[in-house]
Amino acid sequence: MKKNQKQTHYDLLRVPMDASPLEICDAYLDILEVYQDQSMAANAFFSESERKTILSRLEEAYLVLSNPESRSAYDRSLIETGIMKEGKQYRGKSRQTVSLYHVRRKRTLPQWPKQPEVEKSVVSENALVQEILKQDLLTGQDLKKIRTTLGIPLERIVQQTRIATGTLEAIEEDQFNRLPPVVYLKSFLKLYAQYLQLDTNIIVKGYMNHFKTG
């Protein structure tokens, strides 16, 4: 998705435009668990107002895409505005709405980041890390340098935060065209910072300053 292009319902749920009804339902539940009331990640990083706004947008996206008729009309609007190419719509046989209840029964809640391996004192006493954090603009390479300096493998962050490897690689390599919608990008940056015992406000603000210049 281009940076200046309006986020579609597919972008919000992080599914391809030809996703099946089950994939849409599954994606919605995955994201819903991030922002629900009992989610530690949501409560730690978002105000109640922000969380409700995000949930409202996610619900709207799900309701539109989970209904065959409304999804067809929505896809047509995307085609007419040039966002979706003709023929990219879902062409599967299943046109029925998937019940959230039946999908939920087969799922377990995700495990959110465990106790970080890095002590805050290690971060605060590392001269290189502190020098990088003084910058108003933080690149993906800056974040990668901090992570490697602290001795944390990327795979460990993937395992503990459940952020996709490709997304973390895109962040650290400044591959803006591979990044998720901004609302998710900020959330992932906060989880990344939390696991490395970094100030979440500094990391998000610094990286977003860099993102805006890209």
- In CATH terms, the fold of domain 9-104 is Helix Hairpins (1.10.287)
Query: Please, are residues 84 and 78 in contact by the beta-carbon 8 Å criterion?
Result: yes
Cβ-based neighbour number of residue 71 at 10 Å: 20
Cα–Cα distance measured from residue 166 to residue 177, given in angstroms and rounded to the nearest whole number: 12
pLDDT block averages, 10 residues each, the chain of length 214: 67 90 86 66 67 85 90 94 90 60 46 64 94 96 97 89 84 90 84 93 96 87
Question: What is the structure's pLDDT at 44?
Answer: 57
3-class DSSP assignment, residue 76: helix
- Domain residue limits, the chain: 9-104, 120-213
- CATH architecture classification, 120-213: Orthogonal Bundle (1.10)
Domains 9-104 and 120-213 share a fold: no
Contact 180, 12 (CB under 8 A): no
User: According to the model, what pLDDT value does residue 112 have?
Assistant: 46
| Whole-Å CA distances, 28 to 47, 145, 146 | 21, 33, 33
